[in-house]
């Protein structure tokens, strides 16, 4: 189902450690997963009500998540879906991610995880005119593995690209794209994925989507078990 790389080398160069990969998922499986993307009715609006800390702009998107372990708090209750609501190919894919030793070892070694950890599975749908302003993820996260499932017709001009930043030019914690001296941008077309480690200065964001097509991302969120 997935061709797990044997090496765990990550790009650093002052950015949060990350690795961009082509064809991490076998092409026929990736195509089927994209064709059977979860029904729009399963995704709910996120970011339209709850403000972000440090006066950061809200991250507007449609969102759903699956958790295979009990969660504390109620924030995710609105967005939770269950595997029986997914197609067979998605159910099998999640089962593989949870149980495949090669994949789990790859994540653990790439992110240099030394303690207990768990995963949450998120589906994001971002509409035209929306972006994600620069931010650093919660300390509860070890990292994220993004899988791009953008629809047929999506091309390099559609936006919605993942950006990593370094050399912040202001002290404020609500920077915009122009408030960094350097950045690196990754494409999101075709069967591609991006793994990155969460660090204290791991600034990242998403460029504006400038198409009527919806940006579709599946995110394997790697979390600390005790948080």
Is residue 35 very low, low, confident or very high in pLDDT (cuts 50, 70, 90)?
very high
The predicted model gives 51-76 an average pLDDT of 80
The two three-digit tokens of residue 148, written as one number: 């791009």
- The whole-angstrom separation of Cα 142 and Cα 121 is 14
Q: DSSP secondary structure string, 179-198?
A: GEEEEEEE---SSEEEEEE-
Name the average pLDDT for the chain: 92
Residue 1 has pLDDT above 70, yes or no: yes
Alpha carbons 227 and 219: distance in angstroms, whole number? 19
Question: At residue 72, does pLDDT exceed 70?
Answer: no
CA distances 167 to 14, 57, 134, 181, Å, are 8, 20, 13, 5
**Beta bridge mates, 139:** none
Q: How many helices (H) and strands (E) does the chain have?
A: 3, 11
Indicate if the alpha-carbon torsion angle 140, 168, 62, 153 is positive or negative.
Answer: negative
CB 94 within 8 A of CB 66: yes
Q: From CA 120, how far away is CA 76, in angstroms rounded?
A: 11
State the pLDDT at residue 50.
57
Closest residue by Cα to residue 204 from 219, 189, 226: 219
- Answer whether 58's CB lies under 8 Å from 48's CB: yes
Contacts with 181 (C-beta within 8 Å, 6 or more apart), sequence order? 166, 167, 168, 169
Domain residue extents for the chain: 18-50+59-224
pLDDT tens digits, one per residue of 135-178? 999 999 999 999 999 999 999 999 999 999 999 999 999 999 99
In the predicted structure, residue 42 carries a pLDDT above the cut 80: yes
CA distance 133 to 124: 15
> What is the model's pLDDT at position 5?
87
- Spelled out in words, what is the top-level CATH class assigned to the domain 18-50+59-224? mainly beta
pTM, two decimal places: 0.94
Average pLDDT over residues 28-48: 92
177 in helix, strand or coil? helix
Helix, strand, or coil (residue 21): strand
């Amino acid at each position: 189902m997935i061709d797990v790389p044997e090496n765990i080398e990550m790009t650093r160069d002052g950015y949060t450690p990350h690795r961009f990969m082509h064809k991490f998922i076998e092409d026929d499986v990736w195509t089927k997963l994209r064709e059977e993307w979860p029904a729009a009715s399963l995704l709910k609006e996120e970011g339209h009500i709850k403000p972000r800390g440090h006066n950061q702009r809200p991250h507007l998107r449609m969102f759903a998540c699956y958790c295979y372990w009990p969660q504390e708090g109620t924030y995710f209750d609105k967005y939770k879906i269950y595997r029986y609501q997914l197609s067979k190919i998605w159910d099998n894919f999640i089962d593989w991610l949870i149980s495949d030793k090669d994949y789990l070892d790859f994540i653990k070694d790439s992110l240099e995880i030394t303690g207990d950890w768990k995963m949450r599975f998120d589906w994001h749908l971002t509409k035209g005119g929306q972006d994600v302003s620069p931010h650093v993820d919660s300390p509860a996260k070890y990292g994220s593995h993004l899988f791009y499932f953008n629809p047929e017709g999506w091309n390099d001009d559609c936006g919605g690209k993942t950006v990593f930043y370094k050399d912040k030019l202001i002290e404020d914690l609500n920077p915009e794209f122009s408030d960094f001296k350097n950045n690196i941008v990754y494409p999101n077309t075709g069967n591609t994925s991006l793994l990155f480690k969460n660090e204290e200065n791991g600034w990242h964001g998403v460029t504006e989507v400038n198409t009527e097509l919806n940006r579709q991302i599946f995110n394997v969120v790697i979390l600390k078990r005790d948080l």
